[in-house]
Structure formats: C-alpha cells, structure tokens
C-alpha cells in the first residue's frame, strides 16, 4: 500500500510523568526516557518500531519543553535527526490539545495526511501483527473513520479504561457503544466475561482533515484558540494555559459518530506499573525479573531492579524492590501500582524526590549531586561533546573545579585557559565562568562549592 503509506504520519505523545513507576520515573525524567527493557529507552523502542512502516522523516513527537533536549538526544542516538520532528508544548493540557497541535502542524505540510497517534511509552511484543493492524487502520481512516486500537483483554485489569462494542461495521472494525472509566475488580471481571469489551490503548488512526472537522463540531472553542495560537506563533505558557485540560476521549471519541474499534492482539502493554513491566519481561528459573547488582536467595516471583547499590534479598515472594541513588521502593507485586499515592504525598510535601533524581539532565550534559551539606556542595558535571555551560559562582562561595576525564577550556574574566585530567581551578565568589568541551567525547568535572 505504498500510495496510502506515503500519506501517513506518526505522532508520539510523550507527556505524563509515569508516577506508577516511581522512583525511576519522575516529573523531570518520565518513563518514556527510561531504559527499562534492553538498551533502548521506551521512546527509542517506539520510534524503531515505526520506522520500517512510516519512515523517520514522518515521525513527530509531542513533549513538554522541559523534555525537549533529552528527547532530541534519544532520537539522535538511534540515527533519527530531531530537527523539526519535536513539537513542544509549553505546559501539559492533556491529550486533546496535544493531538490537535500535532494535527494542525502536519496538515500545514500535507493536507491529506493520515495520522497515527501512539503513546511514546508503550510496548508491543508481536511486531508483525502490529504492522498488519496498521494497514487495516489506514484503510479505515481513508474511509473517514476515526480508529481506536482496542486490545482484547486476557485478564480483568483495573488500571485501563475499556471500550464496549456492539457489532462489526467495516473491514474488521466494530461500532463503539461507549467508553468506560477504569473499573473496580468485580466490574473488570464482568467486562472480560462479556467478551465485547476492549482495553482502551490510547492509540488512534484518522485523516487529519476528519479530526479537524470533529474538533470544529464538538470542540469549536478549543480549535479556535489553538488556531489563533499557531497563526500568531504564540506558543507560550500563558496562551497555552487558556486551552481546556481535556482528553481526546472526552473531547472527541465519546461524541463522534465516526469512531470505531479495531480489535488488536499484538502483545501490547502500557508499562503502567511495576507489575505490568514484570508481566512483560522474561523471567529467570525462579520466575524473577532481576536487573542490576542483585543477590537473590530463596526469592521467587519478584521484580528487583538496582541502579546504584548491591541489593540482597532473602525469602521473598512476589515482591517489588526498586533502588535508585536517593530512594528505595518496596511493595508486594500485586499492589505496586499504589506507589502513585506515595508520589502524591511527596508532591504535597514538596520533596525533591517527586520531581527529579540526584542526576539531572540538561542540554549541555548532566549534573549529579554527590554531597550537599550546609557548608559544602559536591557535584559531578558531565559535558557533552562540543557543548558548554555558563554559570555564576555564588558570592559567598569558593569553588574548586577538578577535571576527572577529558580536556576543557575555561573562560573567566575574558581569559581562557585549558585544563586536562588531574588539573584544577579555584574560583572565588561572584564571578561568571564558561566551560567548553571542544572534543568528540564527553568530559567529567567535579565541582566543589565551599560556603562561608
């Protein structure tokens, strides 16, 4: 189907913070950027999955501006040039505004575009079956339908929304009777037994022009504001905040008469909790999923992930243990999704562990806090190749820079000097400094601030 596929674009939604995967996923380091499975992050895996069918030039990612640089770096790592492929939202306003923003951007390039919308952080096991469903979805979209991929449930999951269907319409597609919220356990069992309920995967296919007409019919004010924002090139926080915070399901799918469900069974998971990640990954001989430096004695059916330290377990059964440099999460496996309520407490208490790791990522590289007391702060700076950072030393501090790896150029008071491994520089307070990495490899610097 080369003529149809040439019109197809893929939009990856890379918002959200993945709170059910805390402490690894955080507000400034959401789950799509995490390498849970193999050597690729979830967003990298999603892009690689789509390239054979759609091509890298027609992939777009909608993300928050705070994730722009790291998303771009993940794309570049797998050979996809990020230029003009990332659409930044100034702030999160749910899936309806994000999808509308992407549709309007793509229609400026190709007026008869067919769009797929996928979450950037989901996984699929059976790729060939997935490709077959893409072909079916394109045919449906060409005929004016808005397709949602419905996953046939094989157990009563309470963490997903469901779609009830009533009968076949055209080319495998089923008519939508209603969307239902995440059910309790008993209701979920009834849905699975009924046989005409599907998990709502959050994946869609449609003609861009058809979706715009549905917004014009059901969300005219949202469309008007978004068109005004784009026409004036005023994609600012203040302007974007005037958009309603509404999902595509509420905004369009529950109202449109063009929506259909395409039944799908290609090994999909939203990796929405530690249990769903455990269910997806291969197990060892003791039915454990283990990643990191772990000694597991008499441990069965557990998920254990270590990032920084040795983890030793003894006589555990169906337990989750996840360790990061600043936090450890321990739970029974079946209730591990309740970590979301813990994250809520962290947010209410304004704990930094809710928002970021000890290592934070920047356009120039990364910063890791090694020690922080009242009179001293020690950080490890990694500066990417051909990158630089500028900062000003606190007036009350004396700063010591020590090069651990590589070669840098330091500019202070308009004077530049080179430092290599083992060399250092002392800087007194109230001075501005620029550090350049002129080489092809990342450099590492230890920065020590000593306060009066």
**The pLDDT of residue 37:** 77
Q: HSE of 444 in the Cβ direction (CA atoms, 13 Å)?
A: 6
Cβ neighbours of 427 (radius 10 Å): 19
CB 168, CB 174: distance < 8 Å: yes
**The pLDDT of residue 4:** 67
The structure tokens listed for 68 are 């722009």
Q: Please check whether residue 357 lies inside any domain of the structure.
A: no
CA-based torsion, 369, 34, 385, 442: positive or negative = positive
Q: Cα separation of 147 and 139, whole Å?
A: 10
In this structure, the answer to whether residues 75 and 190 fall within a common structural domain is yes
In this structure, the answer to whether residues 38 and 170 fall within a common structural domain is yes
In this structure, the answer to whether residues 283 and 343 fall within a common structural domain is yes
Give the end of a domain, one of 269, 298, 328: 269
In this structure, the answer to whether residues 282 and 240 fall within a common structural domain is no
State the residue range of the domain holding 385. Answer: 362-451
| CATH number of residue 380's parent domain | 2.60.120.10
In this structure, the answer to whether residues 159 and 213 fall within a common structural domain is yes
In this structure, the answer to whether residues 169 and 292 fall within a common structural domain is no
Instruction: Render each residue's pLDDT in the chain as its tens digit; 452 residues.
Output: 455 678 999 999 998 777 899 999 998 899 999 998 789 999 999 999 999 999 999 999 999 999 999 999 999 999 999 999 999 999 989 999 999 999 999 999 999 999 999 999 999 999 999 999 999 999 999 999 999 999 999 889 888 899 999 987 777 899 999 999 899 999 999 999 999 999 999 999 999 999 999 999 999 999 999 999 998 887 899 999 999 999 999 999 999 999 999 999 999 999 989 999 999 999 999 999 999 999 999 999 999 999 889 999 999 999 999 999 999 999 999 999 899 999 999 999 999 999 999 999 999 999 999 999 989 999 999 999 999 999 988 877 899 999 999 999 999 988 999 999 999 999 987 788 999 999 999 999 999 999 87
Q: Please check whether residue 18 lies inside any domain of the structure.
A: yes
Q: Please check whether residue 356 lies inside any domain of the structure.
A: no
In this structure, the answer to whether residues 305 and 200 fall within a common structural domain is no
- H runs (alpha helix) in 205-338: 208-218, 220-231, 237-240, 248, 274-280
CB 252, CB 208: distance < 8 Å: no
Helix, strand, coil proportions of the chain in percent (round to 5)?
Answer: 30, 35, 35
* Number of domains into which the chain is organized: 3
Give the end of a domain, one of 245, 269, 293: 269
In this structure, the answer to whether residues 288 and 263 fall within a common structural domain is no
In this structure, the answer to whether residues 216 and 331 fall within a common structural domain is no
Give the end of a domain, one of 246, 269, 292: 269
In this structure, the answer to whether residues 279 and 330 fall within a common structural domain is yes
**The pLDDT of residue 452:** 78
Q: Please check whether residue 219 lies inside any domain of the structure.
A: yes
In this structure, the answer to whether residues 372 and 336 fall within a common structural domain is no
**The pLDDT of residue 320:** 98
Q: Please check whether residue 355 lies inside any domain of the structure.
A: no
In this structure, the answer to whether residues 260 and 407 fall within a common structural domain is no
Looking at the chain, the number of H-run helices and the number of E-run strands are: 13, 27
**The pLDDT of residue 429:** 76
């Amino acid at each position: 189907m080369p003529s149809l596929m040439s019109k197809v674009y893929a939009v990856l939604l890379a918002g959200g913070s993945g709170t059910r995967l805390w402490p690894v996923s955080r507000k400034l380091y959401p789950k799509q950027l995490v390498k849970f499975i193999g050597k690729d992050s979830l967003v990298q895996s999603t892009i690689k999955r789509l390239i054979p069918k759609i091509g890298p030039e027609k992939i777009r990612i909608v993300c928050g501006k705070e994730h722009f640089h790291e998303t771009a770096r993940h794309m570049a790592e797998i050979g996809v040039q990020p230029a003009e492929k990332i659409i930044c939202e100034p702030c999160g306003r749910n899936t309806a505004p994000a999808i509308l923003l992407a549709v309007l951007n793509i229609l400026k390039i190709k007026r008869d575009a067919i769009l797929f919308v996928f979450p950037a952080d989901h996984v699929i096991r059976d790729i060939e079956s997935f490709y077959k469903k893409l072909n079916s979805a394109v045919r449906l979209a060409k005929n004016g339908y808005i397709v949602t991929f419905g996953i046939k449930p094989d157990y009563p999951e309470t963490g997903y929304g469901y779609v009830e269907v009533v009968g076949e319409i055209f080319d495998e597609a089923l008519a939508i009777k209603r969307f239902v919220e995440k059910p309790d356990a008993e209701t979920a069992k009834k849905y699975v037994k009924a046989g005409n309920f599907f998990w709502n995967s959050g994946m869609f296919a449609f003609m861009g022009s058809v979706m715009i007409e549905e917004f014009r019919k059901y969300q005219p004010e949202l469309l008007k504001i978004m068109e005004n924002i784009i026409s004036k090139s005023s994609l600012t926080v203040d302007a974007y905040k005037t958009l309603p915070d509404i999902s595509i399901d509420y905004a369009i799918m529950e109202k449109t008469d063009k929506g259909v469900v395409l039944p799908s069974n290609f090994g999909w998971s939203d990796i929405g909790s530690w249990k769903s990640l455990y269910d997806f990954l291969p197990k060892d001989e003791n039915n454990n999923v283990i990643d990191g430096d772990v000694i597991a004695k008499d441990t069965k059916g557990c998920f254990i992930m270590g990032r920084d330290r040795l983890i030793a377990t003894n006589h555990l059964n169906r337990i989750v243990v996840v360790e990061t440099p600043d936090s450890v999460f321990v739970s029974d496996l079946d209730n591990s999704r309740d970590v979301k309520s813990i994250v809520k407490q962290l947010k209410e208490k304004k704990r930094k562990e809710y928002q970021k790791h000890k290592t934070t990522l920047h356009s120039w590289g990364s910063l890791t806090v090694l020690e922080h007391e009242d009179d001293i702060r020690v950080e490890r700076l990694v500066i990417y190749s051909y990158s630089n950072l500028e900062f000003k030393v606190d007036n009350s501090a004396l700063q010591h820079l020590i090069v651990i790896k590589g070669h840098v150029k330091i500019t202070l008071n308009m004077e530049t000097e080179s430092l290599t491994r083992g060399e250092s520089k002392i800087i007194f307070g109230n001075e501005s400094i620029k550090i350049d990495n002129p080489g092809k490899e990342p450099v590492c610097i230890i920065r020590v601030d000593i306060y009066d």
